[in-house]
A and B are shown apart, each in its own frame.
Chain A
Amino acid sequence: MSVNWKDSVCRSVGPVLLNDPSSYVVPFAAQALSPIDRFYEGMDALLQTATPSFLASHRILGPTFLGGVMAASEEFLRAIIGGVVRVCSVAQVCAADRQIQLGSAIWHGQDVVGRGALEGASLAGKANVTKTVKEFVDYKLTATDQCWSVLDQYERLCQIRHAAIHSGLVMPGKNAVKLGVKPVQGVGELYVGFDELQEAAAICSALVATLNADLFAVVAERWATTWPASSGWTAEIKRHSWNATWDLFYSSVDASRGLIGSPTTRLKCRNAVAAAFA
């Protein structure tokens, strides 16, 4: 009997099929939350699972959790920037020239501005985040913004994330060199234990909170100074637009944890902003 040499190195496989892509998609349960609260919900679920003992006995899952935390951060970035475009007329003018894919418009429908606008934008790394904020919000982030120094750390984390998602846990040389990782013997494996995951989550959480605060300051100032100049501005529109702004940025989770630095109500905050720019 002659040898079928082509079948002599590994198993043979029959047909495989992605049966129903719809089974991979379920309605998003947290839609009513602000982007920051949605981020917290996702991150909390990940971190509460990734205990020291769990990660110690499931070493392979560390990078997966890291990928999850960073995916939650990117989702926040898309949601918050998209949200600003939805509520802010200045951002709308700036983003008017940006293109979206027809598929995004078909899929997201009415929410295409909020959800679909940033589907094509890369938000990995500091340069991409600052570029996207400039292109869609018309705001240039600088060193005096709280998120600036966090973006430096986020940039470094993105290098590590690249290994987690794209390189099968092997640390790519380009990323290792950019990070200044000490050379190891042989191939470097990406390791994400409890300490590393907590640190990464702290960076992502800090990015979310600071960018949320920085963009709120920008949009609130525009509400007080620039939007009233647009035609058809009425007291009713003023009230609605403030409420939309507040709902976009306010974190009920931070409020319930007593973490808001200067707690106040939606109305009092509105009055304070109006007074600050009167």
Chain B
Amino acid sequence: MSSNSVAEPGDRFVEQAEYMATESFRRLTTEHPQEKRILQRLCRGGAKLITGPRGCGKTTILLKAFHQLVDDPGAPSLPVYVNFKASLRLEPLYKTKANAMYWFNQWMLFKCYIGLWETLRQMDVDESRELKERVESARRLAGDLERGEVPGGRFEMSVESLTESVELALIATGRTRCVLFLDDAAHAFSPDQQRDFFDFFRAIKSRFVAPKAAIYPGVTVVSPTFHIGHDAEEIDVWIDPYSTDYLDFMRGLVARRVPPAVFEKLVSSSDLLDVVCFAAFGMPRALLNIIRQFYEDDVDEGVRVKFGVKDVRNQIGVAYANTLHLYSSLRDKLPMYTNFVSAGESLLERMIDSVKSYNRIKLESRQSVSIAIQAPVAPELERVLGFLQYAGLMMKDSGVSRGVKGRFDRYKIHVGGLVSRNAVIGQKSTSLGLVAKALGARNAHEFTRVTPSKLLGVDDILDSLKLALPACHSCGTARASEAAKFCLNCGSPLTALSTFKTLVAKGVRDLPLSKRRVDRIREHSSLRTIGDILLDHEHRKLRGVPQIGPYWADRIYSYAEEFIA
């Protein structure tokens, strides 16, 4: 970690890799513990799916692979990076246009063309006029679709035409294959788009094109004709917080991103820093968010650091609450599963209680951080566990067999939750130093075994996990079943609200901003909803609010984009 690698204030807190300028990205990212192995697999042929919750480093690793291939003139693979973050903007089409699949497919192709263009531009390769024209069309049409406008006229871009353009690019660059990095491809809140994405993923795979997609665990449902393992290999990039090089990696990340004086202070309370690293639960973004709360960089007074036990406990609690909030937001994003989300909240509490009871009577060196649930687990409960994984609250571990007692699926529980609820050591007043030691020494064989019904607190699991199906909007009659498409009472088609429209109608208050900032925005601008912020051209209205300059305007906009991603 050289002093040249220290973050400048401007890019210190841009936690999301896709928003960082390339130079800053190259300078500030640290090597992922499994980086060499993962990059090797990403840069080679073959279809891959990289999985992990928000903030675990999927985009970072994809961009690293991208830059590695761009920078290496001898590399056989031509990289193309595409971010599908804006895909939910097309979700309303699935409610109003029967050919939404066609337009979504076109949009994905447009984004791939634009990505190909970007690569050739970065590699200083002369692009053909035909490709230039296609990319100009693609930009315009993708923009139309993201604004909810279906383009007029007749045209078509196809997988075949894209493959043709890729082959020409391979000839121009002297490369033998194209690696297509498809970021934010999970489309987690639109099952229709997920299904269509995997059909696209399979169609684009060829001798010359190797697609790699970043997806979320737990909430990604592949199309019936797509088989993970056969159609694509899965790579888990979520860093195991209990792996041997975890603490070194996280400390290295902090060292690159904070001023040296701050890092020195943090390192001087080594146990506290370790607990914070564990509490980030394998998510670099979470760690950086927590760390930035411990210091202020004042122009006149210099750097002030507050890194005591109370500060650490407080910020771990806040970070964990934010993760819980992300989980709870699934109610808005997947309204049909609102009962499942509630069940997950109770389930998590019970799991932490189970672990706490177990740990109370165990030595420091034999603390548990995991729960083992008796398999097989009902599909409804699988879905609840999937949602918890998506939010990063639980990490799936290897299964374990207990002979006649049966097989168990193991999950590690978010350390922030364990620390906030005093479940490690489990005594009334446990020092964080002891917690750090216990987590560092934890034994993988220590875990609590439970049955699904005990976990949910009900004997009949299926009864408690019912889909919240909206009633007929026309006559209010309850739906006959999940499969019902028409009201049995009035015959009206049963419609679901657009997730995108529901999310953009949410208020500015739903963003992770302080009350003061929200009040200021409301007082000094006409911005009221997430949608208003997204439509605020060049952030003009945001920048008209006192104490919101370019930095905060970008940040608030990125919060709004994250909200609908």
Footprint of B on A, CB under 8 Å? 40, 43-44, 47-48, 51-52, 142-150, 194-195, 198-199, 201-202, 205-206, 209-210, 257-259, 261
Cβ-neighbour of B484 out of A40, A142, A198, A206 (below 8 A)? A198
Known A-B contacts A51-B488, A202-B485; A259 and B98 likewise in contact (beta carbons under 8 Å): no
A177 to chain B, nearest CB (A): 17
Complex CA gap A144/B152 in Å reads: 9
Dominant secondary structure of chain B at its interface with chain A:
loop
B512 sits at the interface (CB 8 A): no
A200 to chain B, nearest CB (A): 9
Complex CA gap A48/B472 in Å reads: 14
Residue numbers in B under 8 Å from A202 (CB-CB): 485-486, 493
B473 sits at the interface (CB 8 A): yes
B96 sits at the interface (CB 8 A): yes
B481 close to A52 (CB less than 8 A)? yes
A147 close to B98 (CB less than 8 A)? yes
Cβ-neighbour of B154 out of A44, A144, A209 (below 8 A)? A144
Closest-by-CB residue of A relative to B474 is: A257
Complex CA gap A199/B99 in Å reads: 17
A149 close to B101 (CB less than 8 A)? yes
B302 to chain A, nearest CB (A): 59
Residue numbers in B under 8 Å from A194 (CB-CB): 480-481, 483-484
* Contact flags B141-168 to A (C-beta < 8 A → 1, else 0): 0000000000001101000000000000
B102 close to A205 (CB less than 8 A)? no
B213 to chain A, nearest CB (A): 23
**Pairs A-B, 6 closest by C-beta atoms:** A44-B491, A195-B483, A202-B485, A210-B98, A198-B485, A146-B98
B304 sits at the interface (CB 8 A): no
13 A-B pairs with CB atoms under 8 Å apart are A40-B491, A43-B486, A44-B486, A51-B480, A144-B102, A144-B153, A144-B156, A146-B98, A148-B102, A194-B483, A198-B484, A202-B493, A206-B98
Complex CA gap A257/B275 in Å reads: 58
Cβ-neighbour of B486 out of A47, A195, A210 (below 8 A)? A47
Known A-B contacts A40-B491, A205-B493, A261-B96; A198 and B483 likewise in contact (beta carbons under 8 Å): yes
Residue numbers in A under 8 Å from B98 (CB-CB): 146-147, 149-150, 206, 209-210
Residue numbers in A under 8 Å from B154 (CB-CB): 142, 144
B99 close to A47 (CB less than 8 A)? no
Residue numbers in B under 8 Å from A205 (CB-CB): 486, 493
Residue numbers in A under 8 Å from B483 (CB-CB): 194-195, 198-199
B488 close to A143 (CB less than 8 A)? no
Residue numbers in B under 8 Å from A195 (CB-CB): 481, 483
A259 close to B480 (CB less than 8 A)? no
Residue numbers in B under 8 Å from A201 (CB-CB): 485-486
Complex CA gap A144/B102 in Å reads: 8
Residue numbers in B under 8 Å from A144 (CB-CB): 99, 102, 153-154, 156
Q: A194-B484, A199-B485, A201-B485 are in contact. List 5 more A-B contacts (CB 8 A).
A: A44-B491, A143-B156, A148-B99, A201-B486, A257-B474
Known A-B contacts A144-B154, A257-B474, A258-B473; A47 and B488 likewise in contact (beta carbons under 8 Å): yes
Known A-B contacts A52-B481, A143-B156, A198-B483; A258 and B474 likewise in contact (beta carbons under 8 Å): yes
Residue numbers in A under 8 Å from B451 (CB-CB): none
B480 close to A143 (CB less than 8 A)? no
Interface residues on B, range: 20 to 34
Footprint of A on B, CB under 8 Å? 96-99, 101-102, 153-154, 156, 473-474, 480-481, 483-486, 488-493, 495
Complex CA gap A51/B488 in Å reads: 7
B99 close to A146 (CB less than 8 A)? yes
Residue numbers in B under 8 Å from A146 (CB-CB): 97-99
Cβ-neighbour of A198 out of B153, B156, B486, B492 (below 8 A)? B486
Residue numbers in A under 8 Å from B480 (CB-CB): 51-52, 194
Residue numbers in B under 8 Å from A51 (CB-CB): 480, 488
Closest-by-CB residue of A relative to B100 is: A149
Complex CA gap A149/B102 in Å reads: 8
Residue numbers in B under 8 Å from A199 (CB-CB): 483, 485
Residue numbers in B under 8 Å from A149 (CB-CB): 98-99, 101-102
Residue numbers in B under 8 Å from A143 (CB-CB): 99, 102, 156
Residue numbers in B under 8 Å from A145 (CB-CB): 99
Residue numbers in A under 8 Å from B495 (CB-CB): 259
A43 close to B491 (CB less than 8 A)? yes
Residue numbers in B under 8 Å from A258 (CB-CB): 473-474
Which of A142, A144, A206, A259 is packed against the most chain B CB atoms within 10 Å?
A144
Complex CA gap A258/B475 in Å reads: 11
B99 close to A48 (CB less than 8 A)? no
A48 close to B102 (CB less than 8 A)? no
A179 to chain B, nearest CB (A): 13
B306 to chain A, nearest CB (A): 56
Residue numbers in A under 8 Å from B493 (CB-CB): 202, 205, 257, 259
Known A-B contacts A146-B98, A149-B99; A48 and B156 likewise in contact (beta carbons under 8 Å): no
Residue numbers in B under 8 Å from A209 (CB-CB): 98
Known A-B contacts A142-B154, A143-B102, A148-B99; A259 and B492 likewise in contact (beta carbons under 8 Å): yes
A137 to chain B, nearest CB (A): 17
Closest-by-CB residue of B relative to A213 is: B98
A48 close to B488 (CB less than 8 A)? yes
Closest-by-CB residue of A relative to B152 is: A144
Cβ-neighbour of A48 out of B96, B101, B473, B491 (below 8 A)? B491
Complex CA gap A141/B101 in Å reads: 17
Residue numbers in A under 8 Å from B96 (CB-CB): 261
A47 close to B491 (CB less than 8 A)? yes
Residue numbers in B under 8 Å from A52 (CB-CB): 480-481
B191 to chain A, nearest CB (A): 15
Complex CA gap A195/B126 in Å reads: 55
Complex CA gap A249/B473 in Å reads: 24
Residue numbers in A under 8 Å from B484 (CB-CB): 194, 198
Complex CA gap A52/B99 in Å reads: 30
A115 to chain B, nearest CB (A): 25
Residue numbers in A under 8 Å from B102 (CB-CB): 143-144, 148-149
Complex CA gap A141/B491 in Å reads: 29
Complex CA gap A47/B487 in Å reads: 9
Complex CA gap A194/B481 in Å reads: 9
A8 to chain B, nearest CB (A): 49
Closest-by-CB residue of B relative to A256 is: B474
Complex CA gap A40/B4 in Å reads: 71
A214 to chain B, nearest CB (A): 9
Which of B96, B153, B492 is packed against the most chain A CB atoms within 10 Å?
B492
A196 to chain B, nearest CB (A): 9
Complex CA gap A51/B98 in Å reads: 26
A100 to chain B, nearest CB (A): 31
Residue numbers in A under 8 Å from B486 (CB-CB): 43-44, 47, 198, 201-202, 205
A121 to chain B, nearest CB (A): 23
Closest-by-CB residue of A relative to B155 is: A144
Residue numbers in A under 8 Å from B490 (CB-CB): 44, 257
Complex CA gap A272/B485 in Å reads: 33
B358 to chain A, nearest CB (A): 44
